Amino acid sequence: MKQIEKISAGASYTAVSVGRLNELEQHVLTLTPEIQIPGKVFLGQALAATGAEISFQSFPVGGQTGFHHIHKNHEELYICVSGKGEFQIDGQTFGVDEGSVVRIAPEARRTIRNTGDVPLVVICVQYKGQSFTAEDATDGIILNDPVAW
């Protein structure tokens, strides 16, 4: 089973690698001894993230989540990195492929499947819904110190 590798860390950052995206199936998320999800890896704990959870998942050809789920508080943002698939959200089914991005509200019933002929790779960012404000949109500050490599 593949593991997350720490690249670097400091007082205010952490960098990790899940490895090559075409090798994601080597990761296995164990929810219970009976429920194991190959190809899925969560990064929040490894990154020491404090505002969101992020995961990578690879669905093999014909693969699917296999269940619907909802969240109590977390919105999810799915970014399709490669492949082709379908989402089913609140009974509506629609196609996605590389470059598609899907935002799903916490209470929405959701599932996903691969409908293509190569693995469907997605990045999922989970964060507290209704938490981003107008002030957050202007949170970045450009610094004047020179960049030296």
In what helix (H) or strand (E) does residue 136 lie, and over which residues does it extend? helix 134-137
Distances (CA, A) of 149 to 17, 141, 146: 22, 21, 10
CB of 79 within 8 A of CB of 122?
A: yes
CA–CA gap between residue 22 and residue 79 (Å, rounded): 16
CB of 6 within 8 A of CB of 47?
A: no
Q: How crowded is the C-beta side of 20, counted as CA atoms within 13 Å?
A: 2
Residue 113 lies in a domain: yes
- Considering the entire predicted model, what is its pTM? 0.91
Residue 52 lies in a domain: yes
Residue 149 lies in a domain: no
pLDDT value for 50? 94
Residue 148 lies in a domain: no
The angle formed by the CA atoms of residues 118, 41 and 62, to the nearest 5 degrees, is: 25
Q: Which domain holds residue 83?
A: 5-130
pLDDT value for 110? 98
Residue among 101, 97, 106 at smallest CA distance from 78: 101
End-to-end CA distance of the chain: 36
How many domains does the chain contain in total?
1
The set of residues, in sequence order, having a beta carbon less than 8 Å from that of 111 and lying 6+ positions away, is: 64, 65, 66, 67, 68, 69, 87, 88
CB of 66 within 8 A of CB of 113?
A: no
pLDDT value for 94? 98
Residue 138 lies in a domain: no
Residue 33 lies in a domain: yes
Residue 28 lies in a domain: yes
Q: Domain of 54: which CATH number?
A: 2.60.120.10
pLDDT tens per residue across all 149 residues of the chain: 899 999 999 999 999 999 999 999 999 998 888 888 899 999 999 999 999 999 999 999 999 998 999 999 999 999 999 999 999 999 999 999 999 999 999 999 999 999 999 999 999 999 999 998 889 889 999 999 999 99
Residue 143 lies in a domain: no
